[in-house]
Chain A
Amino acid sequence: MRRHAVLWSVIVLAVVMLAPFVIVAMNALKSPTQYAAEGPLALPDGISLQGLADFWDRVDFGQKLLNSFVISGSVAVLAVVVSVLNAYALGIGRIRGRLWILIAFLVANTLPQEALVYPLYFLAKESGLYDTQLSVIIIFTIVQAAFGTYLLSSTFTGFPGELLEAARIDGANKWQALVRIVVPISRPTLGVLFVFFFIWTWNEFFLPLVLLISNDTQTVPVALGVLQGQRLMDATMTSASALLGVIPAIAFFLIFQHTLTRGITAGAVK
């Protein structure tokens, strides 16, 4: 009985979660004429890829994909590296005042981006990085690493001390203990962080909107904004763009989802 209840609630939840995607997909494949005549909830008569193709050309979507990939990939890698280094010092090294350092990181993470916009704009302008992807990469590396540090520090606090002790007796210095012991054992956690950092950065809209003003440096979410006009929107093309925008993030998640589960079983304490 109870199993059925769980099953049904999972199904309902899945339907609720998927419904928006289905509607977006339906409208992405609908011709504008049919949309105008029958509205957003009607099933498409046929498959019209015109919206997808038009949008791709209009914003040079290939370029945007590359930009987003470079930015999100760099941020994910760098933020994981920075988080590991920070957390090693805070969680395992247990340096003095770590609580306050963590609080400072958390504050950086919880500040609304709107409040940070002007300072970041001026810093980027003064350092000559305005309208470069590097500025966005640096900012998001720091923002994501703040969260990563917080999370990893607490997991590292529970890291088995015997392992580190054994490594120290075997003659490993602190660097070797990090690279040979801590990182391989926490690989599943790091993998999860990597995937999250990538997807979070991929979906970031506001700071890239402000800092990347040339069309050839922009990311996918900013490019999607081109379609929202002042008073009108092009519903079918907006759906097409939303579909194109969300596919890479889902694909990335699915690919890494697989290696993640493998990583977890492989990383089990031996």
Chain B
Amino acid sequence: MSKRLLAAAMVAVLAVSGCGPGDDDGPRTLKLWHYEGPDSAMGVAWAEAIRQFEATHPGVKVAFEEKGFEQIQKTAPMVLNSSDAPDVMEYNKGNATAGLLSKQGLLTDISDEVTKRGWDKQMSAGIQTTARYDEKGVMGSGKWYGVPNYAEYVMVFYNKDMFAQQGISVPGTVEELTAAMDKFVAAGVTPLAVGGAEYPAHQIMYQLALSKANKQWVDRFQRYTGPVDFHDAAWMHGASTFADWVDKGYISKDSAGMKAEDMGVAFMQGKHPIMISGSWWYGRLAAGIKGFQWGSFLWPGLTAGSAGNMWVVPAGSKNKDLAYDFIAITMSPQIQDKLRDAGGVPLIDTGTPSTAAPQIKEVTDNFKTLSTQDRLAFYPDWPAPGYYDVQVSAVQKLITGTANPHQVMDELARPYQENLANVGR
């Protein structure tokens, strides 16, 4: 009896759930999606931007939904192709993501708006790269499809206390860094915290390759401006030095199975004095490190990094004018300062003194250096779709010693060359 009742109730609920939300012509609504946590620098700054937007646009409500990164990655083409697309959303930069959507006609060409509002003047050339895509969906030239709002780059985080114990000063060159790591190995400490099961390992290998590369090399690899030889001096230096670092004990063999999270925790616990990873760690480190002094310095030379994820306006957006107004607010000095003080890397240097911790000033100053010297080299997993997993598994083999540098570079070359046809090269 009760089971039948339950069944009836289920069917009734089912009928109700079938009715989707209707469209009503009341006050306007700006449908906004992003996937930054509420405590992250971007989350904090953009929450303030929403408040300012609502204050300056009476009668407009912002319908904000926080999304999971994975959901946006997996479903963006489908969502944007339906009538449920948001009016403005955060999206990943790069050929395989924003480039692909722009090629499919799912994003609005916002070039006119960018010049009208002067956003192009606010960004250096390196920062603009990831916002513009040509008709093949390749970044670096063509129309504007997005507006980045922050930046990110790879740096060397270090434990000041452990450096002081060994009497090591801040390394300025790769040679000095190697010498410092030798000292730690001699003292029985594995110097580098590495997460070999995720992005950190291949970013380190890319960093090493970059130390023998130049800007043209980066353009060839990332923007397909010329042939890429995966066995050239730079790549081979990257792969063999990485293997060498494992042999010398700078990188522990156990790190092959470690996630980025484990790497961060190991560094925060003071198990390793050095972590080579991105600015996205800043907030986490600032909140998590209690027992020691820490800081960061720039990797000498070209550095993995780029503008951060950006605002895109889906082609199906019903409130494009409002979307542009919202983007304009996030580009304003107040919001950029807010982002900076919450531990993010702002795109626009407002020059106002920061109230935040000295480490945060270090990050923004270092970014200014990178940006003005045009040293940003993007990320190694960008140039081909699905390249992230290839990179992770190939570099993992360098840690476990199951492949030599030549084999690893062969593994990286194959999907890259296959993808060239897709981008018409």
Contact = CB atoms under 8 A, between A and B. Distances in A.
Interface stretch (A1-9, A29-37, A43-51, A100-108): A29-37
Interface stretch (A89-97, A143-151, A160-168, A227-235): A227-235
Interface string B1-26: 00000110011011001111100000
Contact of B71 (A36, A129, A225, A232): A225
A159 interface: no
B65 interface: yes
Given A133-B17, A231-B278, A39 B269 contact: yes
A256 to B, nearest CB: 11
A228 B14 CA distance: 30
A121 B75 CA distance: 10
A125 B79 CA distance: 10
Contacts of A231: 199, 260, 278, 280
Contacts, number: 125
Nearest to A229: B69
Contacts of B18: 129, 132-134
B17 A229 contact: no
B288 A225 contact: no
Contacts of B266: 39
Contacts of A74: 10-11, 13-14, 17
Given A33-B290, A39-B265, A77-B6, A229 B35 contact: yes
Given A214-B65, A225-B70, A225-B71, A232 B14 contact: no
Interface residues of A, number: 43
Nearest to B291: A37
A131 B84 contact: yes
B75 A209 contact: yes
Nearest to B290: A37
Contacts of B268: 36-37
A32 B265 contact: no
Nearest to B36: A229
A32 B287 contact: yes
A214 B13 contact: no
A131 B13 contact: no
Interface in B254-269: 260-261, 264-266, 268-269
B67 interface: yes
B74 interface: yes
B272 to A, nearest CB: 13
Nearest to A121: B78
Interface string A215-245: 1000000100111111111110000000000
Interface of B: 6-7, 10-11, 13-14, 17-21, 35-38, 40, 65-71, 74-75, 78-79, 81-82, 84, 92, 199, 260-261, 264-266, 268-269, 278, 280-281, 284, 287-291, 309
12 contacts: A36-B287, A36-B289, A37-B269, A131-B20, A131-B84, A132-B19, A137-B17, A210-B75, A213-B71, A227-B68, A232-B261, A232-B281
Given A77-B7, A137-B14, 15 more contacts: A36-B265, A37-B288, A58-B38, A59-B66, A70-B14, A78-B14, A81-B7, A130-B84, A132-B19, A209-B71, A213-B84, A214-B21, A226-B66, A227-B37, A232-B284
